Structure 1
Amino acid sequence: MIFFVNPIFFYYVGIVWKDVLIGTALVALVALMISATQRSDKWRYGFLALSILLASVLPLMRQQGILIAPVFAVIGSYLFVREIHPRRLIRALLFGVLLISSFGVYKVVQLWTTSTISGSGNRDVSQGLSLIMAYDIAGVLADIPEREVQQFPLPELVSSHFRAGYSAQRVDMMMADPVVSQYLNTVTAKDLREVWVRALKSHPGAYLRHKADAFLWLLGIHDVELCVPIYVGRYTLPDDAAASGGQESYDDRARLLKHGERILRDTTVFRNWFYVLLLVISSVVVIFRAQGVGKLVGLGISCSAWIYLLTFIPTSIACDVRYLYPVVVLSTIGFVAVILNYGLINNAMNVRLTKDSVE
């Protein structure tokens, strides 16, 4: 219960952030899948169908969903068909139908959101890639000697501002510089990519150091003072507030949350390395001790969490704790599951009791 009442869940629940949205969807998906494995009646098929449905829309919540959705779609489809018919051919056909249907649901919902949500069709993934490339260029320039900076095909003023504004902690500091932001608004994708490739080829060591440092910041190895994005109370954009009739508010509950955040800031609650440690433990237990469908679901949870985590090595641009919120929820569920199912607590207590008896 201690892990399930983690304050980070109460801080971020209900917030319209894509990290929190996909994390919440993953909790529901995994809960449905685990519940299905614990049942022998026909309800398990409904639970599995809902889990496959949730897996279908994960890519629409965050880019990493493209990588983890197939994991859960395949596992959910396999669990659905494994005992539904004695003939292997029928099971294989149904398995294929479920996967195709999952992709179909994704495309239908994608078209629906594009046509009904204002601005959803204008979000180009290349914009995010351009920001990552610019951040990588700045990281390399900040690491190498001045004489080597001059060899880059960049205006001298832009190069100097890249170096001065770079921080492995977050890209925002660099982007706040008007010289940098103006350059990125005017440079072509082709020219920016050429500079980025030049940086990687000529200074791979500097690039790797930049990536490693940015990832360590994200894990919470360093100070988290600027890494805990939290807004207490209710906030919305002025136009949205006018359209919905809502307004900003700051009540006693918000004050309590803010006070609690100050107390918890220096604890492991807001340190992503702690949840990675839980993930390591649960992954090892699942690999070496789990069996049957429990192992399959456990591997799905662990693989998805690892995939999500590792995608941030090349793409991390800030140390915000919330970026790894899906890893937080998946690692917590996985860790609690192995404790409950494989008796880690009971075994530890038995060892202690035996030791006390001998003494």
Structure 2
Amino acid sequence: MAGDSEPRSGGRRSGGFTIEIKVNVGARTAFRAVLAAGLLVMLGANLPGHLSYDSVAQLYEGHFHIRETWGPALYAWVLGFFDGFIPGTSLYVTVSAALFFGALAALTGLRPKTSWWAVPVAAAAVLTPQLMIYQGIVWKDVMFANCAVAGFVLVAWAGQVWPRRGLRWALLITALVLMAAGAQVRQNGVIAGGFAALALGWIAAFDDTQTTARGRWRRGLTWAIGALVALVVVGQLETTLSEPPKAPRDTALGTGLRIVESFDVIGAMALDPTYRVDQLSAANPAAAAIVRSRAKADYSGRRVDFVDRDPAIQAGLNLISDKAFAAQWRDLVFRHPGLYLRVRVEDFRWVFSPPVVDWCLPIYVGVDAPAEKMAPLGMQHRYVQSDVMLYNYASWFLDTPVYSHVFYTGLSLVLGVLLLWRRQGADVTMAAMQFAAAAFAASFFIISIACDYRYLYFTDVAAIAGLIYAALDPPTPWRRERPTHTIH
């Protein structure tokens, strides 16, 4: 099945003339046509987009240039930017999806040939809910995933054109802007940027084969560290510029830490009633007693929301300082590591391999938020027949590998090893994306507080993109050619 097809021709005689029709459709053309059709179908099925409360709240902030939540300021700014051209989220969804589908289409330029295997693989990919529906959901997790996948593809392309300095820097700067934006809207998204920096270091190290081994690794390390520093600097600059005038101090990091710490401590009290919370008791013994009394009933590794919805435990939590909870959390981690790991395993299994995926918001369609947020935006609640059909479509994939983070993580690890084994052209960069996807999933062992499917969306679509890349020119273990690093 490898290679582009040969031209096909057919003739039909009409009177004294012969009408000849030639068709020249290669695998590469067919592959891109499938992606283009998939993009158009996805937009037709989902525009103007699906918005949950978080989506509407951030659109509201971006539209009115205010700051009311602790969601990422950059994401609100992005939604507001596109809303300024066409009210709502239609333009944003179109541009975001075009970025992702365009990145997939650009994969063909990273291999010397296109196998026909890539066509059915791409067709199957565009039919998954991850591409057919999720690309139409207005969530920061989707933006991060799209920015990260496109960023890796751009880094790979920079390696292909490395001697052409102007084009190389244009590609790298664009990748940097996208990666930095992704890391700002999804904090642990910096993991993707870190792996991209490592890939860039590899590319730079081997761009000159005449350099000594020591010189190559010094050069590669310099590029990798420089890329990481640039990622942090540009990310902070993007967030600073996206903050609206007179915005209150950003407390997102502190709030997030407090939620994780309190969730872990409550989980420890629920799993082990004998666990002593001396730091909490020293700060406020009455409040600590309330928290302990409600921990067993409220804690679930499934999500922190059960704690949030209990007024009794919230009353106790509000009376305990962040400092006291931080001290208690350190006590749990360093003096009771076994109990801490038990809590984290319970939390992580829900987000990584939920026992009941239906309880973890596997899909979201329609528009829903409080009227006071939607009315000023000219929006109304929406859950129409087309949304019902999309939800039903996604439900066919539940409880299958298509909705399994475990499956996609395993796929990424296999692909990463195969690509490193072949190590030709863009293989190292695409392998880095696969390992980034697995590492991103693993990071939720520490920070998970809910099992929503969207949190690991990048893990799944990175594996899908990696599978498509591999299908373009399969890296079979028995076919390892001489390693190449840069195609000039």
TM-score by length of 1: 0.81
* Secondary structure, aligned partner of 1:222: coil
Q: What letter matches 1:286 in structure 2?
A: L
The verdict on how the C-alpha distance between 1:100 and 1:246 changes in structure 2, with shifts beyond 3 A counting, is same
Aligned to 1:241: 374
Quick check: 1:340 aligned with 2:475? no
- Structure-1 residue corresponding to 2:268: 140
**Matches of 1:258 and 1:118 in 2, distance apart?**
38
Give a deviation string over 1:247-282, Cα, whole Å, max 9, x none: 222233211112123332222222211111211211
Q: CA deviation at 1:40?
A: 7.9
In the other structure, the counterpart of 2:256 is 128
Deviation at residue 179 of structure 1 after TM alignment = 1.9
Instruction: Return the letter of the residue paired with 2:323.
Output: K
Offset at residue 322 of structure 1 (A): 0.8
Alignment of 1:1-359 (within 5 A): 1=122, 2-37=124-159, 42=164, 43=167, 45-73=169-197, 75-76=199-200, 79=203, 95=223, 102-115=231-244, 121-144=249-272, 146-148=273-275, 153=281, 155-287=288-420, 289-344=421-476
The letter of the residue matching 1:57 is A
Spell out, residue by residue over 1:81-135, the C-alpha distance to the aligned partner (whole angstroms, 9 max, x if none).
9759x9989x89x95877665554333312111245956x423312111111111
Letter in 2 for 1:58: G
User: Closer, same or farther in 2 for the Cα pair 1:224/1:26, shift >3 Å?
Assistant: same
Using the alignment, how far apart are the partners of 1:345 and 1:72 within structure 2?
A: 24
Q: CA deviation at 1:167?
A: 0.9
Deviation at 1:344, TM superposition (A): 4.4
* Structure 2: gaps of 5 or more residues: 1-121, 480-488
Deviations 1:133-182 (A, max 9, x none): 111112211222x4555877353222010121111211111221112222
Name the residue aligned to 2:84: none
Distance in 2, Cα, partners of 1:76 & 1:147? 50
Shift of 1:25: 0.9
Judge conservation of contact 1:339–1:345 (CA < 8 Å) in 2: no
State the shift of 1:334 in Å. 2.0
Q: Say if 1:199 and 1:207, in contact at 8 Å, map to a contact too.
A: yes
Q: Pick closer, same or farther for the CA change 1:346–1:236 going to 2, 3 Å.
A: farther
Shift of 1:41: 8.7
In the alignment, the residues of structure 2 paired with residue 323 and residue 176 of structure 1 have an alpha-carbon distance, to the nearest angstrom, of 21
Cα distance, 1:327 vs. partner? 0.9
1:317 deviates by 1.0
Percentage of pairs with the same residue? 25
Q: Give the distance between the partners of 1:100 and 1:200, measured in 2 at CA.
A: 30
Q: Is the 8 A contact 1:36 1:44 kept in 2?
A: yes
Q: 1:278 to 1:147 in 2, by over 3 A?
A: closer
For 2:271 and 2:348, the matched residues in 1 are separated by 16
What residue is the counterpart of 2:102 in the other structure? none
The answer as to whether partners of 1:48 and 1:76 remain within 8 angstroms in 2 is: no
CA contact (8 A) 1:64 1:308 kept: yes
Residue 231 to residue 3, structure 1, CA distance change in 2 (3 Å): closer
Distance 1:81 1:156 in 2: 58
The separation in 2 between residues aligned to 1:298 and 1:261, in whole angstroms, is: 28
Tell me, yes or no, if the aligned pair for 2:141 and 2:186 is still in contact at 8 Å. yes
For structure 1, which segment, 248-257 or 317-326, has the greater mean C-alpha deviation from structure 2 after superposition?
Answer: 248-257
Q: Which amino acid aligns with 2:450?
A: A
Q: Residue type matched to 2:240 in 1? A: L
- Structure with greater helix share of residues: 1
Distance change (3 Å), C-alpha of 1:118 and 1:330: farther
CA separation of 1:314 and 1:333: change in aligned 2, threshold 3 A = same
Whether the 8 Å contact between 1:338 and 1:344 is mirrored in structure 2 is no
Q: Distance in 1 between matches of 2:147 and 2:475?
A: 28
Deviations 1:34-77 (A, max 9, x none): 44455689555533332122123232111113333233245447
Structure of greater Rg = 2
The runs of 5 or more residues in structure 1 that have no matched partner are 348-359
The answer to whether the Cα contact below 8 Å between 1:133 and 1:192 also exists between their aligned partners in 2 is: yes
- Aligned residues of 2:301 and 2:350 also touching (Cα < 8 A): yes
Q: Work out the CA distance in 1 between the residues paired with 2:128 and 2:251.
A: 34
Aligned to 1:354: none
Q: Report the CA distance shift for 1:246/1:194 in structure 2 as closer, same or farther (over 3 A).
A: same
RMSD: 3.5
SS state of the match for residue 138, structure 2? coil
Cα distance between partner residues in 1 of 2:333 and 2:457: 30
Counterparts of 1:106 and 1:258 in 2: how far apart (Å)?
35
- Report how many aligned residue pairs link the two structures: 343
1:313 CA displacement: 0.7
Contact 1:33–1:48 (CA<8 Å) still a contact in 2? Answer: yes
The farther-off stretch of 294-303 and 125-134 is 294-303
